[in-house]
Every structure is written in C-alpha cells, then in structure tokens.
Amino acid sequence: MSKGIFVLGTKQNVGKTYISTLMFKKLFNMGLKVAYYKPVAMGVSYNNDIVCSKEISSVYNFCNIEANISDFFTYGYENNIQPYIASVVENKKINIDKIKQDFNYLCKHFDYIIVEGFSEILVPCSIEEDIMPIDIIKELDLGVVFISSCDEESVLNDTSLNISYLLSNNVDLKGIIFNRFNKESFVDIDNKKAIEMVTGIATLTTIGNNEIFFNILGNKLKSMFSDVILDDINLDEEDIEESNSRNRFDTNFDLNSDCTLG
C-alpha cells in the first residue's frame, strides 16, 4: 500500500519545496520509490513538447533524477499568480476528481508520495468551482506536515491561526517543521515554544539555513505518511483524454544513486 503526506505552510516562500526536497532525498536514499507531486503548479513554461517547472525540477534534480516534469503535476499555469485567478485567465478549470485520479495513478507506481500545497490554506483554488485547498487535502485523505518559517515577524500569529483552521476542519496534523531556525536565537527558541503551547502541536524537527540533510530518523519520517486508499474516479471525456496522454512516467529511478545538489 502506498503512503502520502501533504506539505503546507503559512504562506509562499516559507520553504515548502525545500523541506519537501529534503524529505524526498531521505526516502530516496533509503531505497524507496518516492514521488513529489504538485496538484497545481504555477509558473510552468511550455515550449513545444518541453514542459518546465522550476519547483518540480529542483526536487528531482537534487537527487540527480531525470523526470518527465508533466507527470508530476495535474494543472500547470504559466502565470505565477494565485490559482483562482490563473484558472480564469488561462481557461483551465480545476477538477478535484482529476487531481485524485492523477494522485491514485502515482500511488500505483510509487511507495511514498509527497504532495506540496500550492497556495496559502485560505486562498481559493477556484472561485467558480468553489474549491479550497482544504477540499483537496480531504479528498486525498492525507495527513499534513506544516512548515513555519522563523524569519517571519508574524510567525507566531500566522502559524497558530493556520493550525487552528486545520484542526477545526479535522485535518490529521502530523506536526510542525520550523524552517530557517537559528538554534542560537532566543527569539526562534521562544517562538517555537509559544507556538507549541498555543496550538498543542508538537515540533517534528527544525531546519537551519542551507541545511541539506533532513534530521529525522527514517522510521519516524515513514510513520508521518498516511496509508492511501485508492478509489474509482469518474471523469468527463476531456479529463480522461488528458490523463491518458500524460500517464507515462518512468519509475525506474537509480536507487543506488546518492542524492546530491544537482
């Protein structure tokens, strides 16, 4: 049975992709088949048959893996703006069932799936379709790892409010990872303690600036992932045609290759 985790953060640029990459690296070096997936990717460029996503590429390049980028996102928007705006501008409506089908397909080929959120938790994915990020988390039925960046002045307030919202929606919150954490800073140390006190959620680990190792034991990392139950999904003809054209990824990654900065 495959396992998955959803990575969220207080806002953009808090280090969701960075932490996802370190998690990916750890699992990959344990000899596991692991995939990094973004339901919605922003800033995607299309040049004939070549698809480029800086975020997705960075994760696989970190482990020197050649991956077909388009296999690891469902909706790719060229405009690097909020998805509820991009979906209208580029006329690509978001369909949760399509996301679930692509996620299920990945689960049939990989042991562990890291799903990264693409926006703040209270920013709509689609106003027309009335879709919020919480809807996708619940549809995929995954637990959440929450990323908090210690270099933000409002880290206590932002983290506490986000976690309160997630808990009120009965999300399985696995814990908090503090990014850009300075172990010598009493401010970072006290903010961490305050957030734990206010939210009641434990810290999984802290990550300093420019760290390239994920300092969580392998078994603990694996235990953070939720079992995935695959469901049959009914899509319309347009979504089925798109799925068939993209479900072709190569899962024969070299498991003997060390993850290094690529």
> For the chain, how big is the Rg over CA atoms in Å?
18
Closest CA to 72 of 93, 43, 52, 95: 52
Q: Are strands 50-52 and 45-47 parallel, antiparallel or unpaired?
A: antiparallel
> Choosing from 3, 16, 25, 38, which is the catalytic residue?
38
CA distance 92 to 145: 28
CA distance 262 to 251: 19
Q: Are 23 and 222 in contact (CB under 8 A)?
A: no
- Residue 234: CA count within 13 A, CB half-sphere: 0
CA distance 47 to 19: 29
Active site residue 11: no
Active-site amino acid positions:
38
